[in-house]
Copies of this chain bind each other. A is one copy, B any other.
Amino acid sequence: MAVNVIDRVREQRPLIHHITNAVVMNFTANGLLAFGGSPIMANAKQEVAEVTRLSQGLLLNIGTLHENQVEAMILAGRAANEIGIPVVLDPVGAPATRYRSGVCQRILQEVKLTVIKGNAGELAHLVDQDVDTKGVDSTGEADAEAIVRLVAEKYQTGAVCTGEKDVGCIDKDVFVNETGHPLLAQITGSGCLLGSLLTASLTVEGNPKEKVLATLSHYGRAAEQAADHPDVKGPGTFIPRFVDALAMGAEK
């Protein structure tokens, strides 16, 4: 099953429009290409709706938010809703500032989302829960389950909470992924890239829960495989092997 979802992405090579943060653009583009999708990244309000209409999916990531980008995100989100393609929101750092929090609220009001993906602190913030953000990675599975249920219910969307275990909720169905590797937390943009891959998987046919779970599983196994490579001695050498591993199982 997992294999089928990823294979479909590779067959269809969905074009994913990213309005994302400047830190991770290059890594996200290379990671999505390896996974089997096709990245496009446009930010100008003059063209984001048009770019979205050419695309099969839209990812909104607020990691380096600025004024012009907010308007672009709303325009792109509305265009995506009009043509009925999946929209994923990654509310990076939403609890950190009133600005990010406010922009998230605006996006949540004006754009119908398919999946919201974040860590426990970010998702908890969206449903006014307190989570000790210092200890995000050790947030228990039970807490994560409660949070994704609340997010999914409140915003009528899928929710994915990443952490040592990833916990998702789609259509009131909660599921857990246990693949992954601690090196993912030692490089920048690993969560951001996952948002991009989830968007790509959501564009192909199939059951939403299975598509999300297959992607989480593939992503974590790619990290495990890369980390196990004898040449990987730290986060620097992990990155290229991880990108390679995202392509694992693809026919050459």
Contacts and interface: CB of A to CB of B under 8 A. Distances in A.
Contacts of A240: 236-237, 239-240
Contacts of A237: 240-241, 243-244
Contact of A30 (B93, B187, B231): B187
Contacts of A245: 234, 236
Contacts of A234: 34, 243-245, 247
Interface size class on chain A is 35 or more
A69 to B, nearest CB: 9
Contacts of A93: 40, 42
**How many copies of this kind of chain does the complex include?**
3
Interface string A186-199: 11110000000000
Given A26-B26, A98-B50, A236 B243 contact: yes
18 contacts: A21-B41, A23-B29, A30-B239, A33-B188, A42-B65, A47-B97, A50-B96, A66-B68, A234-B244, A234-B245, A234-B247, A236-B239, A236-B240, A236-B243, A236-B244, A236-B246, A239-B240, A240-B240
Interface of A: 21-27, 29-30, 33-34, 39-44, 46-47, 50-51, 54, 63-68, 93, 96-100, 186-189, 231, 233-237, 239-247
